[in-house]
Structure 1
Amino acid sequence: MRCRVHKRKVLLLMLLFAAIAVATWSVLRERSLHSYQDPSFLFTNLAGKVKASGSRLARNISRANNSAEELKHFVYTANLAQTLYNEKRFPQRPNDGVIVVVATGSSPELLRITIESLHSARGISDVLLVLSHDRVSAELDTLARSVDFCQLIRIYFPFSLQLYPNDFPGPDPAGCPRDATHEDAQKMRCINAQFPDRHGHYREAAFTQAKHHWWWTLNFVWSRLRANTGNNGLVLFLDEAQAVLPDFLPTLHLMRVVQSGVAAPDVFCLGIRESSTNGPGPASALFAGAADAADTASWQSSRHAAGLAITRHAYELLRSCTQEFCSYDDYNWDWSFQQVSATCLAHPLIVMVLRAPRVLHSADCGAPAGEVCNAARARERLEAVSSGASRYLFPDTVRVVQVHYPIAVHPPAVNGGWADPRDHELCRRMPDLH
């Protein structure tokens, strides 16, 4: 029997498949475009979906093949539960106790050094340590379980690339390539074609995540962390590449004691961004005569972002400038922070900063140019600094040497990478998102 092909039927089938393809593309495009007008489309309430999946994943977190949806359920559950570890061993903390927040990313070995340095700090048992993860992994889980020297809470950034590998806020297949020209982007009809940054580039999720993660962590710790309710103490923000010296807590306390006698600082800084501890001279040269010295000044990203301790009042000031922070075209949280200080507040933020830092960059380990700073080299360098400075640590008081009254200091440049309206809207919603 011969198979008869009817041209009319073939044509109808081709039209049907074409219509289905166009409809599918339109739905996906509309889904992405919809987020510009109503970003709540992104923020699906997982409460009714969690059930037992979160606890089940917690028991199987070492599995490598957890789906993004399973991880979302786990993250939602963990952030809602806010499990307090080591509470039996450390049942009480001071009402004005310090909360130390460490943002973790892609360097577990550097995080290990940070945890070791915290373990060696005097007074650490009075601290609540918060690890803010931007991914779920067995290696990070093992590191977190090694914390047995203070109370611990683990939180998870709920809009990470790991949870959204193929969709905003992660890499969006419908988005424009970073280096596409505006003309090419319009021809491609990618959804953010009208929103290149000031340098003509389009968003890169790997860069935007850092600012989102910091802003989400800041708001979560101050607004939604139950263990911080009614707390009058400071929140100290570190990242996984920053380690502390043994007297960082007593010195921070002395800084708060002395603040009443000078232009009252809004924030405190325990580190130096371009750490002079990695210069050719011994650490003792930096600490001799300066271990108890501090200055006050207008906050600047290049000098005051490392080891930043924030009061509740300062947080409320920053939150009041959410619009400015979230719309400023710079993917760096600290440059955006400086812009807020210079333009949004009634007066620029005043920082009290130590001349001899108590927070060091473990990644700044003195490696020759072009060589990787591995964990072993970083640990050796930190031990050398700590040993050289040891005789000068634990001062009896902190003295304010110079008082610089606040002037608006704008960022020296605008780095871009933050022009997509979806990033702006997600950022603006962070203070209210769980």
Structure 2
Amino acid sequence: MAFYKRSRVKDAGFRRLIPLLLVVLLLVFLLVFTIRTSGIAHMFLGSEDGLEDEGLAWDDPAVVLDVKGEVKLPRQTQLSLSLEKRNDLPPRNLDLFPKLAKDHVKIVLYVHNRPQYLQVVVNSLSEVEGIGETLLIVSHDGYFEEMDKIVKAIKFCQVKQIYAPYSPHLFRNSFPGVSPGDCSGKDDPLQKKCKGDVDQYGNHRSPRIVSLKHHWWWMMNTVWDGLVESRGYPGHILFIEEDHFIYPNAYRNLQLLIKLKHQKCPDCYAANLAPSDVNSRGEGWESLIAEKIGNVGYTFNRTVWRKIHSKAREFCSFDEYNWDITMWSTVYPSFGTPVYTLRGSRRSAAHFGKCGLHQGQGQSSTCIDNGVASFQVEEIDRVPNIKPSWNIHFKNNQGGYGAGFKGWGGWGDKRDHELCLSFAYMYHNMTPSLS
């Protein structure tokens, strides 16, 4: 009987604890849910590739997003609207590649209208070791049928196509294309009775020129903060262009560089597949190289994106139509510390071609040169050729564009500044989700 009474007392005590345990479990659930939906789950749970964000503190005031601006987007055309709807379509080839590797590095290829070049980079990507493990996002500056056809034929990995819905190439009679009454060249607004703001050299906007910077900025904001497949993704993303040749070892080398960056160069912002000097093949040393971020095969994570995004006003107001020169001349210098990228001493990607992004349209041979055929893939380019035991050589006082350069112009119209800022603000009400 005594034993029976003691058991009843214990049971009663346990029953009294049940509500408390349920409350505790509920609080834990709510805490985890709040962390995940706030877009900072990786701060506590670790990033998708098993690496924490390197070197750059999440409580750094410099990484607070500037998302308080007004979104002023142009009225869309039917083509613009139809392309925007395509951006919501799921990736293709899910039947061939149903899952992404846990430690995958997403790849973004941004293109305009050079199909001969695009075919070269697509062919080179098809030979990359590990390409089937990841997602390839192709960002189109407008719509060009031949470019679209080449991308749709890709079968070597998951492929997601997105189209810049506010590309000037989609607006023939209105901003951001040419609006009726717009000034051009060095027109005198009073004499010509036209409108528009001039750049620092007295030139009015050219839609085909400003599309360079608009596309890059729209793409960055969309990939990091807009797409279901990548918003909230804490890992690294590789960015390449339609005139970049990618070597077979690029992906495996990149995975090594990301891990080594975390271990050996926590102050490095990025990893690069090629030297910042696009004409260099690399030093060939048994050493890692830390230098300024190049524009061929650069890779960074969400922490770095937050720092870049916090400088949206500087990026959008700097009178320079090239996104990369804008970054080198005003955004990176504003961080207050040297901005290094980590790379191997032998390139795993290369820039080819001699004509500019918007030259030679409609001329089948204008943008083709013998540089494409000159790439010789050696055995060392087929396997990872970076060793974790290597030390790092820092390149200081590098030449090229930097703080103090005032820009080449082409970006003086206030409408372009406002559109650029609208791209920075257009996703700020969206709830991030981990993919």
Shorter chain as denominator, the TM-score bin is 0.7 to 0.9
- Name the CA distance, whole Å, in 2 between partners of 1:86 and 1:137: 22
Q: Aligned pair 1:262/2:253, yes or no?
A: no
Within-5 A mapping of 1:25-40: none
CA displacement, residues 140-195 of structure 1 (integer Å, 9 cap, x when unaligned): 22211221111110000111233101211112232111122xxx222323221xx2
Work out which of the residue numbers 160, 167, 174 in structure 1 matches 2:174.
167
Q: Aligned pair 1:188/2:163, yes or no?
A: no
2:55 match: none
1:410 match: 403
- Structure (1/2) with the larger helix percentage: 1
- Name the CA distance, whole Å, in 2 between partners of 1:406 and 1:324: 23
Structure 1 residues 406 and 215: alpha-carbon distance in aligned structure 2, compared to 1, 3 A threshold: farther
Q: Aligned pair 1:399/2:403, yes or no?
A: no
Letter in 1 for 2:324: D
Work out which of the residue numbers 285, 306, 324 in structure 1 matches 2:296.
306
2:288 match: 294
Within-5 A mapping of 1:70-219: 70-79=78-87, 81-180=88-187, 184-192=188-196, 195-219=197-221
- Name the CA distance, whole Å, in 2 between partners of 1:70 and 1:341: 35
- Name the CA distance, whole Å, in 2 between partners of 1:326 and 1:209: 13
Structure 1 residues 392 and 123: alpha-carbon distance in aligned structure 2, compared to 1, 3 A threshold: closer
Letter in 2 for 1:269: N
Q: CA deviation at 1:264?
A: 2.4
CA contact (8 A) 2:135 2:160 kept: yes
TM-score scaled to structure 1, two decimals? 0.73
Q: Provide the aligned length of Structure 1 versus Structure 2.
A: 347
Structure 1 residues 373 and 390: alpha-carbon distance in aligned structure 2, compared to 1, 3 A threshold: farther
1:276 match: 279
CA contact (8 A) 2:348 2:381 kept: no
CA contact (8 A) 1:335 1:411 kept: no
- Name the CA distance, whole Å, in 2 between partners of 1:340 and 1:412: 8
Structure 1 residues 373 and 272: alpha-carbon distance in aligned structure 2, compared to 1, 3 A threshold: farther
CA displacement, residues 179-216 of structure 1 (integer Å, 9 cap, x when unaligned): 22xxx222323221xx2111111111111000000000
CA displacement, residues 345-395 of structure 1 (integer Å, 9 cap, x when unaligned): 243432223332211112159xxxxxx77647344212x2x2375478534
Structure 1 residues 395 and 272: alpha-carbon distance in aligned structure 2, compared to 1, 3 A threshold: closer
- Name the CA distance, whole Å, in 1 between partners of 2:329 and 2:98: 41
Which of structures 1 and 2 has the larger relative contact order (alpha carbons within 8 angstroms, sep 6+)? Answer: 2
Q: Which runs of 5+ in 2 are unaligned?
A: 1-68, 356-364, 428-435
Structure 1 residues 354 and 178: alpha-carbon distance in aligned structure 2, compared to 1, 3 A threshold: farther
Q: Is the partner of 2:107 in helix, strand or coil? A: strand
CA contact (8 A) 1:318 1:340 kept: no
Structure 1 residues 127 and 376: alpha-carbon distance in aligned structure 2, compared to 1, 3 A threshold: farther
CA displacement, residues 42-100 of structure 1 (integer Å, 9 cap, x when unaligned): 434x7xxxxxxxxxxxxxxxxxxxxxx33223212112x23210112111113442111
Letter in 1 for 2:161: R
Q: CA deviation at 1:275?
A: 3.3
Q: Is the partner of 1:186 in helix, strand or coil? A: helix
Q: CA deviation at 1:397?
A: 3.4
2:44 match: none
Letter in 2 for 1:320: S
2:308 match: 318
Q: Aligned pair 1:354/2:376, yes or no?
A: no
2:230 match: 228
- Name the CA distance, whole Å, in 2 between partners of 1:39 and 1:342: 25
Q: CA deviation at 1:413?
A: 4.5
Letter in 2 for 1:149: F
Structure 1 residues 152 and 198: alpha-carbon distance in aligned structure 2, compared to 1, 3 A threshold: same
The share of aligned pairs that are identical, in percent, is 25
TM-score scaled to structure 2, two decimals? 0.73
- Name the CA distance, whole Å, in 1 between partners of 2:391 and 2:402: 21
